[in-house]
Chains A and B, each alone.
Chain A
């Protein structure tokens, strides 16, 4: 199995684009390539159109003619206006703070709990485990009313904590990490325990280093979800200074009125951070979503 995957990995590494003995330019392959190209272009069009609009003058953006070379030319004027006048920088900051906090707390609590489920036989374990499995099918959308009233009672409406806390745990991620820890041979930990290391020590210096890839995958998945989440931050923030990017943009979307270029420029600015992160870490992100995706939605 391992040599098999290894050889496959290598053959993929040297970019084998067709099987040996197969004509790389057969009619059917060219046809498939054309279909792919058409689909990919179709998928990129909404992006490209938004970028193009954001680079136009407002007059050109509001003209009904479709043109790739607008009379006023292309410029970053709309971006300059949006960044100097609007709240986008502060919303981006709010998004960053809350998403990082959510990711950190979720990964830490899920790893600790996942380890307890995997390795420790404690009283009440089965009950908690059953509760977690049951919780996975409860859509958080259904709890908005009681949760909001609870946050009112806790005085957490319009605070960072109000945004963070209800998003800072993930039953599905506990299960994913538990399953991963289950595969780590206990002998590795026993060796450390013989040397007198306590549970926390073993967890920190033996288990966590072995789990780096899965922890990264969970972190990426949680971060994307937190950065993009709309409904809960939308409900728990009314103060424009505390809004996250998706919520803030929704509130000003209509305020831009007919300023289509600025509207698109702010959408592009909001999309940019994750797109850039993705371009840099494409492989890790794809792998992360492929491994955690099933438990994560």
Chain B
């Protein structure tokens, strides 16, 4: 009897505890079952190469695969003393500055113009966005032809105005500018589109209220529109800086980093050390130095954005 009285609550508790544990195990099983296909690819093709690359950066590994074993930090030390590394890094930073500013300012200007509600809206949107859909190879084929010193349209038009032809991709003083112009043409559509979407989310009432207060169009632009777009701008600047730092395709194909290494980007240097110099260890060390820079830039931007939104 007494057992019969005593046991039921105990078993009930046990049952719920067991059930809870089982449910928890079930959840974990279900969770991993859903996450597994992604997790497997993620680990195999991102985590493993990231760790393997870190290991490689401490070895003297070359093409033959024989390697010369662990070499400590000597790849890193070599990289920091390598003038070509610093030059490529400098080019990359310079490209980032030259491309980010117009890619933000002009995309905003384009979006503001298109958002005025003038006729032909789809046509404007199409013109600015279309290049974004092109592969880098196609972009480079178009622009190599535009920039062709003898037959290109750019010099052809300049000649009409009596201006001497310019070697757009061969002159060390203008090659970087030419690359930036091509990049601007190619990628502005993305920023433009995100600005346009953000502009359409600004509540109409704000403009009506401002208009009642007698604020003119320009006044509204600076006191309503641009402040309202601040979060979009912050995100676009972040994305743009990171995207520009990673530049490779269009420079590699337009100038191959020339003339005289004046446009070679850091990713191209990583590629060349690894795949034409076959210095896998050295190439990986530069990758990790560059990754450290990207982490720093991301952290700095994160802090800046947070401080601004907190203020």
A interface vs B, CB < 8 Å? 4, 8, 16-19, 28-29, 32-33, 35-36, 39-41, 43-47, 49-50, 53, 61-66, 105, 108-110, 112-113, 115-117, 120-125, 128, 131-132, 135, 137-139, 141-150, 165-166, 168-169, 171, 174, 199, 203, 224, 227-228, 230-231, 235, 245-247, 249-250, 253, 260, 263-264, 266-267, 270-271, 274-275, 278, 282, 286, 289-290, 293-294, 297
Contacts and interface: CB of A to CB of B under 8 A. Distances in A.
A142 B270 contact: yes
Nearest to B44: A165
Given A29-B118, A116-B31, A40 B127 contact: yes
Is chain B's binding surface mostly helix, strand, loop or mixed? helix
Interface in B220-274: 235, 239, 242-243, 245-246, 248-249, 253, 267, 270-271, 274
A146 B291 contact: no
Given A66-B157, A131-B42, 14 more contacts: A17-B119, A36-B114, A46-B131, A61-B151, A105-B41, A113-B37, A116-B32, A131-B47, A138-B46, A139-B294, A144-B275, A235-B275, A263-B141, A264-B145
Given A46-B143, A49-B153, A116 B34 contact: yes
Contact of B137 (A110, A131, A230): A230
Interface of B: 24, 27-32, 34-35, 37-39, 41-42, 44-50, 52-53, 56, 110, 113-114, 116-131, 133-138, 140-146, 150-151, 153, 156-157, 160, 185, 190, 193-194, 196-197, 203-204, 217, 235, 239, 242-243, 245-246, 248-249, 253, 267, 270-271, 274-275, 280, 283-284, 287-288, 290-291, 294-295, 298
Given A66-B156, A147-B45, A270-B137, A18 B130 contact: no
Contact of B287 (A45, A120, A145, A266): A145
Contacts of A36: 113-114, 118, 120, 124
Contact of A199 (B30, B46, B140, B287): B30
A282 B126 contact: yes
Contacts of A146: 49-50, 52-53, 56, 284
Given A125-B31, A147-B45, A46 B146 contact: yes
B157 A275 contact: no
Contact of B34 (A41, A113, A230): A113
A286 B127 contact: no
Contacts, number: 274
